[in-house]
Structure 1
């Protein structure tokens, strides 16, 4: 116990000594000794409130001196030392908070959050000539806020109240990558459902900046975690962000949604049903944009990005309706099936009318890696995914099965059973869709039988793929071909 008491006294006296003298290199060494001591849990638990009070006075004095230096002729050597001392104060504070609810609470009660945030805001916007020395105290100060917030709701709330949105937005726009990374960590730590909703209601610029970082710095894990663990769970924020984004940024948001749905092993991926409804409505309203690609309008980047957004929306809807119970209500979403069938009709007709981006191709060299030209097409697999969505919407749904028949979608899908290098696996998706459309539906089975009798449907492609249409007791079945047939 004597060792702990001595450490406690040394820490207090070291900090108190700094207050009574002008800044000097010895003070920096004294603070470094404090920082090192606080790496030890026994020392952290032994620090008295008076020592923290003295440390806050040191930090406040440094803040005043730096602000004064910014408005007068600067002694660069003195400013550099002040910045080093500031960084070391933040390190001491950072270490004091590690796994110590007691110290977190003490620092909060003493006012460290307010002083630290004001100092960070100053450092981020200052005109100090010693720019090279600013990154270190910025990084350490942000790390302190992160450690202070971990597991402490009151600290999280105070940090959020004092830094949202201006300071957080400033720091996320910093040129220093570590500053951006540490700020993302603090934001992730502080966020909860209520703060996300506040962001949606009052200021989405911070959310848009996070999404921009997801696109421009994909290796920055914290921003991806913020998006997937917080943003995508708020329909209000998703809708607000989507409306405020460029098409290029929307694609990033949709890619994150797609990945979140696919990676979750359970049915509950955290994305609310209202987000699915919003995406379905958005797809229905804007899906015609993809047709402009057939006219060569893709040379216009804005038109291309709008079409790519539609393609990404389709990918997300396909994944959502892949037998995930929480999203299967989309089978009954007004006119989603009608829109998808009609779009498939248009795409198919355009592709047949002349050689264009929607035309079927037999360029199999690209699939072997000999020619990557088709892999650059923005509509690769688009038709196949339209058929996939139709199949998903018809799964065990008699109303949608009937609707496809009424829309003359069955012959359309059968006409897409041929292999197409622009739509890998389109034959398999067509067979999948036909199975779902015919299942337990006598009228649809009879229609396919009539098409066969009239010779208006070509079943050779189905047979080549190992399937045949067989009439049995007045009903039609799609079944595998026997190997010896």
Structure 2
């Protein structure tokens, strides 16, 4: 029986090879399309795929090459559109046959590569993407099938990946990602994801290639339903500090927000035990926050009518959110407790840095706090929660809602089990400021909880900080009623101040 099957397969190979030769010698007609469809259907069978002779593929390549030449020659005002439509259908079917032949077949992947299918296919895709044919809709089917072929050719085949990358990077890949067809863009994203590796990601970070990476991030923002672009960003881009820095430098503030949102989502991924984002990315973002954080203050004066200024402020807020998340549950980022200030030169190993990241959050908190008390603005405390009930005008919501709360949260994170940072906040007079934010504030939901969390981290195993709070209580400027309402009690014992939960009745 097996011999009979092989005989039938061999006979089929001879028939299809002869039929493909006929296409080369005749004027194109619908019967040729049927021949190619028969070949495509047969290639779905694994046994048939493994038995196809090289001659059949060689003739298929010649058919594709002839179709490509004829299509390019017909690209003019006097083109016979009916003939062009048939040529596009024949090209699409050639690509389908090529696509099917590569499924789970390393042998066919190598064979098609050696015959030269990659070069011919990529040149044809480039022409299809840039041609000015009267009927643009007709090119999308061959575009999609051609990209799918290259994707199947590259799966688990490093040599094919490298060849496709060398011939398509960066210009053709960028063209395909800018196609006017969503499926084409999706398949191009799939192809890019399949080809990428660590070395290729580093190539993307070079200035002349950065537009390709920026296009991927733009698609994450404009077409989030395209899963491949999100996978590219999370599985490859965020793991390269060189690429993240290069993209960030070349982005508008609005584009940076998208990058930060993708990064934030990756940090929140519950299934990820160990975040793949390198520490150097965290350090770069921390430095960026230190450099740009003052932009948020322009929103307080109402002078941020300029959209560029507003976007910069929103970008800083996104940076703060990311830093809060990094320093919450990710041990690999806790080095940020000792992150150096931009104005400080890094010195030799084991030397303590003079200024660290917590300085700017504390100083910025002081500025925000002072502005909020000086006049009514978006940093002023409020007790009206109607705007959060769903009945009010959402357009009136401040873009810096929770900004103060997140500053306090970051200070608390950076002071956790860190005696040096606890001391620095005390020296900067930050403790009274944080205690003064224990009141309910509808502009900063949960600010009182974050203030309690931060005070707890500041007082833990630190008698000097406890004495500061005790002294404030004795002088009477701090109202602890909010703490008591939230279930905490401030108690002086043996000259020290303790923060502990209130016993329930």
Say yes or no: TM over 0.5: yes
After TM superposition, the structure 1 stretch with the greater mean CA deviation from structure 2, 200-209 or 271-280, is 200-209
Aligned residue in 1 for 2:242: 236
Shift in Å at residue 71 of structure 1? 4.7
Q: TM-score, normalised by structure 1?
A: 0.98
Q: Secondary structure at the match of 1:468?
A: strand
Query: CA deviation digits over 1:436-455, x for unaligned, max 9?
Result: 00000000001111100110
Q: Please, which of 429, 432, 436 is the counterpart of residue 408 of structure 1?
A: 429
Instruction: Note the 1:158-197 alignment, pairs <5 A.
Output: 158-197=163-202
Equivalent of residue 313 in structure 2, options 293, 307, 323: 307
Which deviates the most, 264-273 or 219-228? 264-273
Question: How far did residue 154 of structure 1 move?
Answer: 0.6
Q: Provide Cα deviations, 1:144-169, integer angstroms capped at 9, x if missing partner.
A: 11111111111111000000011111
CA contact (8 A) 1:394 1:436 kept: yes
1:198 aligns with 2:167: no
Cα deviation per residue 1:74-131 (whole Å; 9 max; x = unaligned)? Answer: 1111111111111110011011111111111100010000000000001111122232
Aligned counterpart, 1:16? 21
Q: Which residue of 2 aligns with 1:385?
A: 406
Q: Shift of residue 9 of structure 1?
A: 2.2
2:469 to 445, 448, 467: 448
1:267 is displaced (CA, Å) by 4.9
- In the TM superposition, 1:284-433 aligns within 5 A as 284-334=290-340, 335-373=356-394, 376-433=397-454
Measure, in 2, the Cα distance between the counterparts of 1:374 and 1:57: 61
SS at match of 2:328: coil
- TM-score w.r.t. length of structure 2: 0.94
1:478 lines up with 2:484 in the alignment: no
Deviation of the 1:460 alpha carbon: 1.2
Shift of 1:323: 3.5
**2:105 aligned to which of 90, 100, 107:** 100
Question: What residue is the counterpart of 2:485 in the other structure?
Answer: 464
What does residue 218 of structure 1 align with?
Answer: 224
**2:387 and 2:397 in contact (8 A); partners too:** no
SS across alignment from 2:205: helix
Secondary structure, counterpart of 2:180 in structure 1: coil
Q: Residues 31-85 of structure 1: CA distance to partner in whole angstroms, max 9, x if unpaired?
A: 0110111111111111111100000000000011111111572111111111111
Q: By how many angstroms is 1:370 displaced? A: 2.6
Between 1:459-468 and 1:252-261, the stretch displaced more is 459-468
SS in 2 for 1:387: helix
Q: Number of residues paired by the alignment?
A: 484
Counterpart secondary structure, 1:366: helix
1:146-157 aligned at under 5 Å gives the runs: 146-157=151-162
What does residue 279 of structure 2 align with?
A: 273
Relative to structure 1, is the Cα distance of residues 395 and 135 closer, same or farther in structure 2, using a 3 angstrom cutoff? same
CA contact (8 A) 1:15 1:51 kept: yes
CA drift at 1:266? 4.4
Contact 2:405 2:445 in 1 (8 A): yes
Q: Which segments of structure 1 move beyond 3 Å, counting only runs of 4 or more?
A: 264-267, 372-375
Q: Secondary structure at the match of 1:433?
A: helix
Q: Which moved more, 1:70-79 or 1:133-142?
A: 70-79
Partner of 2:116: 111
More moved, 468-477 vs 113-122: 468-477
What residue in structure 1 maps to residue 352 of structure 2?
none
1:38 maps to 2:43: yes
Task: Indicate the larger mover: 82-91 or 365-374.
Answer: 365-374
Quote the offset at 1:13 in angstroms: 2.0
CA contact under 8 A between 2:239 and 2:276: conserved in structure 1? yes
In structure 2, what is the equivalent of residue 262 of structure 1? 268
After TM superposition, the structure 1 stretch with the greater mean CA deviation from structure 2, 458-467 or 102-111, is 458-467
Report the counterpart of residue 456 of structure 2 in structure 1.
Answer: 435
Contact 2:92-2:145 within 8 A present in 1 as well: yes
Q: Matches of 1:280 and 1:190 in 2, distance apart?
A: 31
Q: CA deviation at 1:132?
A: 2.5
Maintained 8 Å contact 2:176/2:188: yes
Question: Residue 376 of structure 1: CA displacement?
Answer: 2.8
Tell me the distance in 1 between the aligned counterparts of 2:416 and 2:128.
59
SS for the counterpart of 1:256 is helix
Query: Is the contact between residue 374 and residue 380 of structure 1 (CA under 8 Å) also seen in structure 2?
Result: no
Equivalent position of 2:344 in the other structure = none
Q: Give the superposed CA RMSD.
A: 1.3
Partner of 1:210, secondary structure, is helix
- Unaligned ranges ≥5, structure 1: none
CA distance in 1, matches of 2:449, 2:224: 33
